[in-house]
Amino acid sequence: MTSILVTGGTGTLGRPTVTKLQTTGHQLRILSRNPGPDHLVADLSTGAGVVAAVEGVEVIVHLATSQGAKDIQQTKNLLAAAPRVRHLILMSIAGIDQVPLGYYRAKLESERLVAESGVPYTILRATQFHDLLDKVLTVQRFLPIVLAPAVQLQPIAVEDVAVRLAELVDAPPANGRVADIGGPERRAVPDFARLWKQAREVRRPVVPLRLPGRIFRAYAAGNATVEGPAYGRITFEEYLR
């Protein structure tokens, strides 16, 4: 039995990951700012309580994420508290070294910090989650149309990512990146938007959106997708159902 600490265990990816790990027979703890079952209360942003939370832990699955400098500081605080952990698994994002977003630059810096920490580690990158694409379309509910960027994406279900994370928990540290994972479909966002429109019974027309700038060009070039066979099994249409 391995003692595992999951940061961000109450989040979008954290919940299915915790559920998956609970079926493996390992001893599981969840780092959270709020009390709850199997929760260890700590604050990664300030470092308060983190040393106590990682005491005796063998494997850390680091899923907690935030924006910009805060994400970097959380990673620094976690690494400072866990110099003797046997394996740190960091969740990251496909294409962060090719898409010039500020959020991605911070995530890339967190990867660097982990790689240079001396802690045995594994970095897993995945494509965007189904629920993010769903939110991008849903937030437009007051517009007369549905704007859909004319780029290709490869969204993946958080349940599929959780399966891969559980596999990595039982594997030795890679001390580098393992293969990036993506969903089962590479499709243009307007195509995904039409599936969403049908599932949500939306009558507004889908309008492909093209924008100037490096960020749009990076997405249009397919830099947020993953080469090779798809890892995920759950399609966006299945997610919507």
pLDDT of residue 183: 97
Q: Is 228 exposed, middle or buried (0-12, 13-18, 19+ CB in 10 A)?
A: exposed
| Helix residue ranges per DSSP H, 9-82 | 14-22, 50-54, 68-81
pLDDT of residue 24: 86
pLDDT of residue 115: 98
Q: Domain 3-240 - what CATH class? A: alpha beta
User: pTM for the complete prediction?
Assistant: 0.95
The rounded distance, in Å, linking the Cα atoms of 127 and 59 is 24
Q: Coil, strand or helix: which one is 143?
A: coil
Q: What is the mean pLDDT of each run of 10 residues along the chain (241 residues)?
A: 91 95 90 84 94 94 92 96 96 96 95 98 98 96 95 97 97 98 96 97 95 94 92 97 93
Q: Any idea where the domains of the chain sit in the sequence? A: 3-240
Q: Do 78 and 62 contact (CB within 8 A), yes or no?
A: yes
